[in-house]
């Protein structure tokens, strides 16, 4: 009886080649696994292809709902934008895929799990660390990394083994789920070259976006979106609809130089229409509800949470500990934000909340205000006292040449 390896299978060049390669190199049974995370994969087509290549068994899992509830929603609460730009669509999906890999491996009695990550990217870390943390005795195999496979060698092998691979002429590497889409490689490796419009699918160019702005109203409860334009919606449907609305206005495009965990600077292109709008709306609502102290401290924790997820440490206890604080702050984050969408940009133009700390009677510059301006003089004196004393001493030292 042969040993079994579970392969995370996408249906693309890398993982299609790996089915045959693993069978031949290790004389094992290969069980494949594909996960739907909102990228609209034809699961039946992928399963049929895997079996045609010799997979002993295939698992198709729709994890979109779990992805949104347990991974995307925490990211919204943490205003997660790696290096201020990347909504981390791929980074958020990998630990869920790794968790399911482990579950299937345990069910099948497999000796190892395998993925098609290279040795240059972040995904290898996300898969390996998560699997090893959840199942320390389970071996993790990364054939592309271990054997140093290149695209040309894979294509040659695919032709030798009669493995049908569509779009071999496509120079781009693409990953997509409900939260966003990443595009890499090919002409994009030239950091000076503007991306061609052909790479985008979720967004139109701002130049071709409508000349008239559009408003969307997003209501949050406990820090997560629940209502769009007055209609209560299920999480997946809400994000899908907002992707559609914001995408047609050219919102969500990111082109930046990113610091990968492995130390490489890479040019990354992303499309995340709903993510950009929701995170911007959430940040705006938080500013109305949380105290200055909470906001300043939470910003540090948000950045740390984002860094942990980006670097493959979703399973780390620190991420859970940070989330406990973040979740506590989100208990009060409820209300509605009105966002304006226009030509590739979005911004908040109105907000309201029953938990708002904004008091018009205090903030107004009108005569009729509850703010006692007489208190300001004493406050200013005490606030500036350390600065005043330091500068008095500075001048004294200078005049008397003390030091």
The residues annotated as belonging to the active site are 14, 94, 123, 173
281 and 339 in contact (C-beta within 8 Å)? Answer: yes
Would you list the DSSP string of 214-248? Answer: EEEEEEEETTEEEEETTEE--HHHHHHHHHHHHHT
Distance between alpha carbon 180 and the CA centroid of its chain, in Å? 7
Alpha helices in 37-122 (DSSP H): 43-52, 64-67, 73-77, 89-108
Q: Say how far apart CA 159 and CA 119 lie, in whole Å.
A: 24
Structure token digits, residue 148: 């140093």
Q: Say how far apart CA 322 and CA 376 lie, in whole Å.
A: 37
Beta bridge partners of 254: 270
Distance between alpha carbon 7 and the CA centroid of its chain, in Å? 23
Instruction: Supply φ then ψ for residue 193, to 5 degrees.
Output: -90, 130
Instruction: Supply φ then ψ for residue 402, to 5 degrees.
Output: -70, -45
Q: Residue 65's closest CA among 192, 177, 148, 187?
A: 177
Distance between alpha carbon 41 and the CA centroid of its chain, in Å? 19
Instruction: Supply φ then ψ for residue 327, to 5 degrees.
Output: -60, -35
Q: Say how far apart CA 179 and CA 349 lie, in whole Å.
A: 24
Q: Say how far apart CA 241 and CA 244 lie, in whole Å.
A: 5
58: left (phi over 0), alpha (psi -120 to 50) or beta: beta
* Terminal alpha carbon distance of the chain: 85
**DSSP state at residue 195:** P
Structure token digits, residue 14: 């890398």
Beta bridge partners of 219: 227, 336
């Amino acid at each position: 009886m042969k040993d079994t390896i579970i392969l995370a299978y996408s249906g693309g060049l890398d993982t299609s080649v790996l089915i045959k390669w693993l069978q031949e190199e290790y004389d094992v049974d290969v069980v494949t696994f594909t996960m739907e995370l909102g990228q609209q994969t034809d699961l039946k087509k992928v399963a049929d292809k895997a079996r045609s290549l010799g997979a002993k068994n295939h698992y198709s899992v729709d994890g979109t709902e779990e992805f949104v509830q347990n991974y995307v929603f925490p990211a919204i609460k943490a205003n997660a934008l790696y290096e201020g730009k990347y909504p981390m669509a791929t980074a958020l999906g990998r630990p869920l895929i790794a968790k399911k890999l482990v579950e299937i491996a345990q069910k099948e009695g497999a000796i190892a799990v395998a993925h098609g990550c290279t040795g240059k990217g972040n995904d290898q870390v996300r898969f390996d660390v998560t699997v090893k943390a959840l199942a320390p005795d389970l071996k993790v195999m990364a054939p592309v990394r271990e054997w140093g496979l290149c695209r040309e060698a894979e294509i040659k092998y695919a032709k030798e083994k009669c493995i049908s691979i569509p779009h071999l002429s496509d120079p781009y590497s693409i990953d997509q789920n409900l939260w966003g889409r990443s595009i890499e490689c090919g002409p994009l490796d030239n950091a000076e070259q503007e991306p061609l419009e052909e790479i985008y699918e979720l967004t139109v160019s701002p130049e071709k976006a409508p000349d008239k702005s559009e408003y969307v109203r997003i209501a949050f409860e406990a820090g997560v979106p629940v209502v769009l334009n007055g209609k209560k919606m299920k999480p997946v449907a809400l994000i899908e609809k907002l992707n559609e609305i914001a995408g047609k206005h050219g919102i969500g495009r990111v082109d930046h130089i990113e610091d990968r965990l492995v130390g490489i600077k890479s040019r990354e292109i992303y499309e995340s229409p709903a993510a950009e709008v929701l995170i911007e709306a959430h940040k705006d609502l938080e500013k109305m509800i949380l105290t200055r102290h909470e906001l300043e401290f939470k910003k540090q924790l948000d950045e740390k949470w984002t860094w942990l997820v980006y670097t493959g440490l979703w399973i780390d206890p620190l991420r859970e500990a940070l989330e406990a604080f973040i979740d506590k702050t989100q208990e009060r984050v409820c209300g509605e934000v009105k966002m304006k969408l226009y030509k590739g940009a979005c911004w908040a133009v109105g907000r309201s909340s029953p938990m708002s700390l904004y008091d018009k009677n205090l903030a107004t510059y009108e005569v009729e205000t509850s703010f006692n301006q007489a208190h300001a003089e004493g406050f200013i004196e005490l606030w500036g006292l350390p600065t005043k004393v330091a500068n008095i001493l500075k001048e004294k030292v200078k005049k008397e040449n003390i030091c």
